[in-house]
């Protein structure tokens, strides 16, 4: 297929305003009479609130209002289970729980007033380990519930017990992962403006999912959705992280704005952000695998326990993705998988790029290497013996028959580009000196979009203006990944016009069609199809209008290069501009709502059988590392990443996703960890929570593999999250080859590499700096 | 010379100021000393500000008076005079990193400077700030100690030369008095054959406060066979940067061939008593101290061997 706009490295449509500093982010906005809001957070991870006294704080000069849970019309919200407190009512359940929020004329006054709020607590013992929370007699985190379980998902395929009796080799291993912070560069920012235009309250800010935010705010205020308007600003990163935390901030600001009848702005400091915002779930994973001597997998039994922290948040869906993908892309006749989420008094956990996959991919890909070792096979050979192909049946009983299952292709390409085989042989020989090299691979399959989590549909408006310029408004929100560019390319492609005609609007929930959230690597696929659908409707309107007037068949007309041609003789009939003029004259409507609903899927919660996702992507990453065995330092030398994306709408922004995904994977793979001791967070800024810098980045070789999917726009599927889930296990496998020692816990920090374990750390930065 | 900024932003809210804030940026050392003698504890010296502004983040208003060293050209110089190298207090890490003289005579000081923070921090941060800030993790401190540096402290009354080892007394604590200005770092020029090694272990490859550092400087006697002087100094393993004196005793007078690197490494491990903190645990630090000592010895040995051949 030949394209004019898609499949091309088109420049980002928002590049100019971003590089020139003109782009407005949440914190850049100011409104007349605006107040500054600031939240008082809990002092303890778990405590009863006996009394809150705001009297003194209210007298502080400049303070306009202080709210507590009492002032919140409906204090509980949540996307899946509504049990997150906007402000703590009777108990604080984690260290970042808000207790009161001040609105004052200056930031300083708000900060000072916060200090004057007196809270009487009764400290309560907390549960900080999900396995403790799971015990029968464990105290309840949410007293209205019967136990601390958030959710339990199952997959049951074949007879695992019997299958294990037939296995010639059985391996049982445990893996764990850590709390990870999203580390978006822009901390949370929200402005709530009361009575603007016809809305009760309008919310601006750094909002990943405007519609989730609207739901939460309307729910909290107990008003209809059409009274709450959310307008998204440019985002300084999100990675799944600006959902519930932003909803709660927006709800607090909205209550204050309505109470004071003044706009209220809230911008978190980094410390507040790390303290309050949800993290990636830490998992404890028990894997048992059985295989024949020849290396054919016969059974897998998996149990994963996720720490949900204080609230349910996204745990039910995060652990669901885990249950579907837990075996990895390997043919297995018998599987028994259980994933659980439990409440604890740790910081709550939610969506973060990967969404339940980084944990299990780390476990399953480490396990495959361990098994290969046991079988005296190379990791490559073992994988090739077991991976999915066309028509393979997954653990959920889904036959992969509606798209190209390209695992072997991505593996082959990554192996070739990394010289995997030669290097693997070389690094297996004994190496002199402290510095030892290793090479490791990881592969995955990943369901595209939401799957059986929720209804999956998206919409977009494409509107041609009188002068031929075009507005696009989609319900899915740019998160910094390049969605606006990709959607503009798709509209331009369909309409046969230059992308310069298009102006892409920010999401405005009172205008844009509700489309769910920018999550699950679904936007190009779902939103792209919606934009395509809208553009196609307009195209049909234009061709029918012309066909009518020029007595040609509308089916013979094509829109290309800013003109309309008769495809039979390639003759130009008129320019796009003339067509728009004609429509203006004839009163033909050149705007359309596009809609796309994902293909049907199915899921049986009892057995975990069905068609959980309508299509999948496949990827393989190979890491080459050098480990200093004297100090535990890991240098990642090179990463090769081969991903089948169906179709690269924009190869450059796609590569950006690969680079960024690998950067984040390297981060949680070898250094990042939110250190939590009895519910208290120890590293609340980037001096202590270390993320990789440019100097930690390896050489990265991205390989784009394109097997167009029947469902995607031009065949496009997903890329955002697949890039993130493979790096850490690939590095772990490379480190294991280099050192001869397997580390089953993330991150592979200095101490784990050198000593084999990480010790709980005391002290604070003040002890040393 | 005197610029008054009046009240600094945000100060009136919580902090009652005693007087108007003063900001001084003199051009001469003498003027700076006058100001210091007048204000004493009531003034803060600012060089690059990369430590100070972080420490006072969100409470800058607590600082009433400022003495900014930025206009004192004299303090920005690196020069050789007689048998010593004089490094001005506001010489930046970037200057140290790039100075040909430093690279030639004190290579690991240059390397340590290159390992500090990021280019932005190296362009602003100064050697004087690193010293007076006295973090146990200050990257320049072990090399300075290993090169036998002395710090020149001036006040209106007197001039003092303090050896690096006597300067630091605890984490962020030194013997400098409020009326004293650190003006120069003085290093004896090595006339012997000198071999050195710098190792910094951090949790990432840039912008990392050290988990542990080691500076090893070995000077050879005229024959280039006998060790005449050896100093192993470590950072982030004690409340101050420290020299392991026992290493010196063990190495002086010996040939490389007479040394057991493993034993020397063990000696370092045994002599330090690091703490657990967010940058590393005691167990890790002890383990690694030994390993990096061995590595440093090997590096020193192999550069000696190359020159000896
Ligand atoms: C992001 C970041 C990364 C960093 N990374 C590192 C690192 O990797 N390694 C490292 O060692 N440090 C690091 N630092 C700390 C800091 O940059 C260095 O310690 C630097 O050398 C301090 O110098 P300065 O000129 O900025 O000091 P300032 O902040 O100006 O001053 C520090 C202290 O010294 C006093 N002072 C300064 N000059 C004099 C003088 N001449 N006489 C008397 N008192 C004086 C000041 O009053 C103040 O108390 C980092 C800092 C930041 C913000």
CATH classification code of A31-124+188-267 = 3.90.1170.50
CATH classification code of B2-68 = 3.30.43.10
The Cα of A625 is separated from the nearest Cα of chain B by a number of Å equal to 14
Give the three-state DSSP class for A285.
Answer: strand
What's the mean pLDDT when you consider all of chain A? 96
Cα separation, A644 vs A390, in Å, equals 14
**Closest chain A residue to the Cα of B135, Cα to Cα:** A769
pLDDT band for B59, please (50, 70, 90 cuts). confident
Q: Which residues of A touch B172 (CB under 8 A)?
A: 769
What pLDDT is attached to residue B120? 97
What is the CB neighbour count within 10 angstroms for residue A139? Answer: 15
Residue B132 backbone phi and psi in degrees, to 5: -70, -30
| Pocket of ligand 1 contains residue B174 by CB under 6 Å | no
**Closest chain A residue to the Cα of B240, Cα to Cα:** A768
| Pocket of ligand 1 contains residue B43 by CB under 6 Å | no
Structure tokens that stand for A587 in this block: 């009163």
Bridging pattern class, strands A297-309 and A334-343 = parallel
The answer to whether B207 faces chain A, any CB pair under 8 Å, is: yes
- Kindly report the length of chain A: 769
Pocket probe for ligand 1: among B26, B89, B120, B121, the residue whose CB has the most ligand atoms within 8 Å is B121
What pLDDT is attached to residue A452? 87
Mean pLDDT of A144-149: 97
What pLDDT is attached to residue A52? 98
Mean pLDDT of B111-120: 97
Chain-chain contact of B284 with A750 (C-beta, under 8 angstroms): yes
pLDDT band for B7, please (50, 70, 90 cuts). very low
What pLDDT is attached to residue B18? 54
Angle B161-B163-B165 from CA coordinates, rounded to 5°: 150
Find out whether A76 and A152 touch, Cβ atoms under 8 Å. no
What pLDDT is attached to residue A414? 98
Report CA(B127)–ligand 1 centroid distance (Å). Answer: 8
pLDDT band for A759, please (50, 70, 90 cuts). low
Residue A572, classified by CB atoms within 10 Å of its CB into exposed (0-12), middle (13-18) or buried (19+), is: exposed
User: Best of A36, A755, A767, A768 to disrupt the B interface by mutation (most B CBs within 10 Å)?
Assistant: A768
CA A415 to chain centre: 28
pLDDT band for A454, please (50, 70, 90 cuts). confident
Report pLDDT digits (tens) over B223-265.
999 999 999 999 999 999 999 999 999 999 999 999 999 999 9
Cα separation, B203 vs A673, in Å, equals 12
| Cis preceding-peptide flag for A747 (omega within 30 of 0) | yes
The overall pTM is greater than 0.90: yes
Cα separation, A233 vs A244, in Å, equals 17
CA dist A606 → A160, A316, A360 (Å): 16, 15, 21
pLDDT at A767 over 60: no
What pLDDT is attached to residue A766? 37
pLDDT at B10 over 60: no
CATH classification code of B193-308 = 3.30.390.50
User: So where are chain B's domains?
Assistant: 2-68, 73-188, 193-308
- DSSP code, position A527: I
Pocket probe for ligand 1: among B29, B42, B45, the residue whose CB has the most ligand atoms within 8 Å is B45
Chain-chain contact of A434 with B291 (C-beta, under 8 angstroms): yes
CATH topology of domain A15-21+457-597: Aldehyde Oxidoreductase; domain 4 (3.30.365)
pLDDT band for A755, please (50, 70, 90 cuts). confident
pLDDT band for A334, please (50, 70, 90 cuts). very high
Report pLDDT digits (tens) over A509-551.
999 999 999 999 999 999 999 999 999 999 999 999 999 999 9
Cα separation, A52 vs A54, in Å, equals 6
CB pairs under 8 A between A and B: 97
pLDDT band for B3, please (50, 70, 90 cuts). very low
The Cα of B59 is separated from the nearest Cα of chain A by a number of Å equal to 11
- DSSP code, position A751: H
pLDDT at A571 over 90: yes
Mean pLDDT of B176-205: 96
Cα separation, B181 vs B167, in Å, equals 13
The answer to whether B90 faces chain A, any CB pair under 8 Å, is: no
Q: Which residues of B touch A764 (CB under 8 A)?
A: 277-278
User: So where are chain A's domains?
Assistant: 15-21+457-597, 31-124+188-267, 283-451+604-767
What pLDDT is attached to residue B21? 86
Do the two domains A15-21+457-597 and A283-451+604-767 of this chain adopt the same fold? yes
Q: Which residues of B touch A762 (CB under 8 A)?
A: 275-277
Report pLDDT digits (tens) over A477-509.
999 999 999 999 999 999 999 999 999 999 999
Chain-chain contact of B10 with A108 (C-beta, under 8 angstroms): yes
pLDDT band for B19, please (50, 70, 90 cuts). low
Kindly list the strands in the beta sheet with A297-309, ordered across the sheet, starting from the edge strand earlier in the chain: A149-157, A334-343, A297-309, A283-291, A169-176
- Could you list the beta-strand ranges (E) of A537-677: 557-560, 563-566, 571-575, 591-597, 602-604, 609-611, 616-628, 634-644, 676-677
Residue B83, classified by CB atoms within 10 Å of its CB into exposed (0-12), middle (13-18) or buried (19+), is: exposed
With CA atoms as reference, report the closest residue to B220 among B252, B258, B187.
Answer: B252
Report pLDDT digits (tens) over A241-255.
999 999 999 999 999
CATH entry, A283-451+604-767, from 3.40.50.1100, 3.30.365.10, 3.40.630.10, 1.10.8.50: 3.30.365.10
What's the mean pLDDT when you consider all of chain B? 92
Find out whether B108 and B117 touch, Cβ atoms under 8 Å. no
pLDDT at A299 over 90: yes
Cα separation, A415 vs A423, in Å, equals 10
CATH topology of domain B73-188: 3.30.465
CA dist B11 → A116, A271, B58 (Å): 18, 22, 10
Give the three-state DSSP class for A209.
Answer: coil
């Amino acid at each position: 297929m030949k394209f004019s706009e898609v499949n091309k490295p088109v420049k980002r449509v928002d590049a100019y305003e971003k590089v020139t500093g003109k782009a407005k982010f949440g914190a850049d906005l100011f409104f007349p009479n605006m107040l500054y809001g600031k939240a008082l957070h809990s002092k303890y991870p778990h405590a009863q609130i006996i009394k809150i006294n705001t009297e003194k704080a209210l007298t502080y000069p400049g303070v306009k209002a202080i709210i507590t849970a009492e002032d919140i019309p409906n204090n509980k919200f949540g996307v899946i289970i509504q049990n997150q407190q906007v402000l703590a009512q009777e108990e604080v359940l984690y260290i970042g729980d808000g207790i009161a929020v001040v609105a004052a004329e200056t930031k300083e006054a708000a900060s000072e007033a916060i200090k004057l709020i007196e809270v009487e607590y009764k400290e309560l013992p907390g549960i900080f380990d999900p396995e403790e929370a799971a015990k029968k007699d464990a105290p309840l985190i949410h007293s209205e519930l019967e136990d601390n379980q958030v959710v339990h998902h199952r997959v049951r395929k074949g007879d695992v017990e019997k299958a294990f009796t037939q296995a010639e080799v059985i391996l049982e291993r445990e893996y764990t992962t850590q709390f990870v912070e999203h580390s978006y560069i822009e901390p949370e920012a929200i402005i709530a403006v009361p009575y603007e235009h016809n809305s009760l309250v309008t919310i601006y800010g750094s909002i990943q999912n405007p519609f989730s935010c609207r739901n939460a705010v309307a729910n909290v205020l107990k008003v209809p959705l059409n009274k709450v308007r959310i307008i998204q600003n440019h985002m300084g990163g999100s990675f799944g992280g600006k959902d519930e935390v932003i909803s709660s901030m927006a709800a607090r600001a909205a209550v204050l704005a309505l109470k004071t009848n003044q706009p209220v702005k809230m911008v978190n400091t980094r410390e507040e952000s790390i303290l309050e915002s949800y993290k990636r779930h830490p998992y404890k994973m028990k894997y048992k695998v059985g295989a024949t001597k020849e290396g054919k997998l016969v059974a897998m039994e998996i149990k994963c326990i996720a720490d949900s922290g204080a609230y349910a948040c996204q745990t039910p869906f995060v652990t669901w993705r885990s249950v579907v993908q837990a075996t990895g892309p390997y043919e297995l006749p018998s599987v028994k998988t259980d994933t659980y989420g439990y409440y604890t008094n740790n910081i709550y956990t939610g969506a973060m790029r990967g969404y339940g996959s980084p944990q299990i991919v780390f476990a399953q890909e480490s396990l495959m290497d361990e098994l290969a070792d046991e079988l005296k096979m190379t990791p490559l050979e073992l994988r090739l013996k077991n991976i999915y192909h066309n028509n393979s049946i997954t653990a959920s009983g889904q036959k992969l028959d509606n798209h190209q299952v390209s695992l072997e292709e991505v593996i082959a390409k990554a192996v070739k580009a990394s010289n995997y085989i030669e290097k693997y042989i070389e690094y297996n020989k004994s190496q002199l000196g402290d510095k030892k090299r290793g090479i490791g691979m990881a592969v995955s399959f990943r369901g595209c979009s939401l799957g059986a989590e929720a209804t999956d549909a998206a919409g977009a408006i494409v509107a041609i203006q009188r002068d031929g310029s075009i507005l696009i408004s989609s319900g899915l929100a740019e998160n910094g990944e390049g969605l606006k560019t990709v959607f503009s390319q798709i509209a331009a492609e369909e309409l046969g016009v230059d992308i310069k005609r298009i102006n892409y609007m920010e999401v405005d929930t009172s205008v844009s069609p509700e489309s769910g959230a920018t999550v699950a690597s679904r936007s190009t696929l779902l939103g792209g199809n919606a934009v395509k659908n809208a553009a196609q409707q307009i195209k049909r309107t234009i061709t029918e209008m012309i066909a009518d007037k020029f007595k040609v068949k509308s089916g013979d007309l094509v829109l290309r290069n800013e003109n309309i041609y008769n495809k039979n003789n390639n003759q130009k009939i008129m320019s796009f501009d003339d067509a728009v003029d004609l429509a203006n004259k004839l009163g033909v409507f050149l705007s359309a709502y596009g809609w796309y609903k994902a293909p049907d899927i199915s899921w049986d919660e009892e057995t975990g059988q069905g068609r959980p996702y309508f299509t999948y992507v496949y990827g393989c990453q190979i890491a080459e590392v050098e480990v200093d065995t004297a100090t535990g330092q890991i240098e990642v030398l090179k990463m090769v990443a081969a991903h089948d994306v169906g179709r690269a709408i924009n190869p450059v922004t796609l590569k950006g996703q690969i680079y960024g995904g690998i950067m984040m994977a390297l981060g949680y793979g070898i250094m990042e960890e939110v250190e939590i001791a009895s519910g208290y967070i120890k590293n609340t800024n980037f001096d202590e929570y270390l993320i990789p810098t440019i100097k930690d980045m390896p050489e990265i070789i991205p390989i784009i593999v394109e097997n167009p999917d029947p469902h995607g726009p031009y065949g496009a599927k997903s890329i955002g999250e697949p890039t993130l889930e493979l790096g850490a296990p690939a590095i772990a496998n490379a480190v294991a080859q280099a050192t001869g020692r397997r580390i089953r816990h993330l991150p592979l920090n200095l101490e784990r590499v050198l000593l084999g374990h990480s010790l709980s750390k005391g002290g604070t930065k003040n002890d040393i700096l | 010379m005197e610029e008054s900024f009046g009240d600094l932003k945000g100060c009136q809210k919580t902090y009652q100021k005693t007087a108007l804030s003063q900001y001084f940026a003199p051009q001469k050392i003498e003027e700076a000393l006058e100001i210091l003698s007048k204000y004493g504890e009531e003034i803060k010296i600012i060089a690059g500000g990369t430590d100070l502004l972080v420490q006072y983040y969100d409470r800058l208003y607590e600082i009433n008076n400022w003495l900014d060293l930025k206009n004192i050209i004299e303090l920005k110089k690196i020069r050789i005079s007689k048998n010593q190298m004089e490094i001005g207090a506001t010489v930046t890490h970037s200057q140290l990193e790039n100075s040909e003289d430093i690279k030639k005579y004190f290579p690991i000081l240059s390397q340590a400077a290159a390992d500090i923070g990021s280019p932005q921090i190296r362009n602003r941060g100064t050697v004087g700030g690193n010293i007076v800030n006295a973090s146990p993790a200050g990257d320049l401190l072990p090399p300075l100690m290993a090169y036998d540096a002395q710090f020149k402290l001036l006040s209106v009354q007197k001039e003092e030369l303090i050896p690096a080892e006597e300067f630091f007394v605890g984490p962020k604590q030194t013997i400098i008095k409020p009326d004293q200005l650190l003006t120069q770092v003085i290093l004896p020029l090595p006339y012997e054959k000198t071999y050195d090694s710098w190792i910094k272990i951090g949790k990432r490859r840039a912008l990392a406060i050290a988990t542990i550092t080691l500076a090893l400087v070995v000077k050879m006697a005229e024959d280039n066979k006998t060790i005449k002087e050896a100093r192993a100094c470590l950072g982030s393993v004690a409340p101050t940067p420290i020299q392991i004196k026992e290493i010196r005793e063990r190495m002086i007078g010996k040939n490389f061939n007479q040394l057991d690197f493993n034993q020397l490494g063990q000696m370092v491990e045994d002599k330090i008593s690091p703490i657990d903190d967010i940058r590393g645990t005691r167990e890790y630090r002890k383990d690694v101290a030994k390993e990096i000592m061995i590595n440093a010895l090997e590096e020193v040995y192999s550069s000696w061997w190359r020159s000896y051949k």
